[in-house]
Structure 1
């Protein structure tokens, strides 16, 4: 009887370890992703692949970030002008308002949140639309740091629909403290 109980306990422990390992693997982020707050388009690429180049190729959208002097800088070409697509037409522009990272200190895979107007966060708090969403798929419960651009501030919540514990309103979080690997929803404003 003791031997059966010992075997059952060993099998149960093994099952718990397998379930924990598979749930950890389910939320493992292996590449960068992009979501546009205006069009709701999104794309992810594998580890080491160029997310900005992939967005440009697939959608004809060029991602810009904020340069050191506040100027737009293309993540595709590295300059401040909108590139031409392979079809010879100007690409649409979208601007990085926030970048969420899978590891502390802006490390690991990145989730770029963009919008078609880089002045959206400087319109004033009364009329500023909230760029908000949920971390779906592999990005749910993996955020460890984030930064914002263009005057935006960011906040994360541990539950859906902007509820539960929070971290933010800030422009740079090299660590999200007790919210590490718990964020389910976010807001940029």
Structure 2
């Protein structure tokens, strides 16, 4: 993969990341016109237990919503970073830390938004969603891109050995005054 491809993939990653964060901000930080709101939940797993008590369908819907909200960050953050050769554990740790900080920022900003309620279970589910998306997609994608890069490198070496190397370029010379 050439330098321009890496730059392009980073730019695409940054643009998709910004677009996703704008959608998340719109979904989570807009004021809601409601008659009443539930109390804030600061007890871990209390909301999840309450969701499970509502039945399988409703629990699945609510828990999936929490898992999927920030899950794309598990893929978009490494894409925006643009690193192919990095430790899987370090990448996972950085991505999960960034995802949890973004989720925490959303929860803290919700304290000032009418109709929005702070829920520690949202923080836990959002972070778990980021981690799951990263574990499922990123290692396989990086492995595939590394193989593609190695294959392209071997093809270039074979072309040079066969006498079909890259076309030499002449540097541009400015016009003298």
Q: TM-score range by the shorter chain?
A: under 0.3
More strand by share: 1
| Larger Rg, first or second structure (1 or 2) | 2
More helix by share: 2
TM-score by length of 2: 0.25
Question: More relative contact order in 1 or in 2 (CA 8 Å, sep 6+)?
Answer: 2
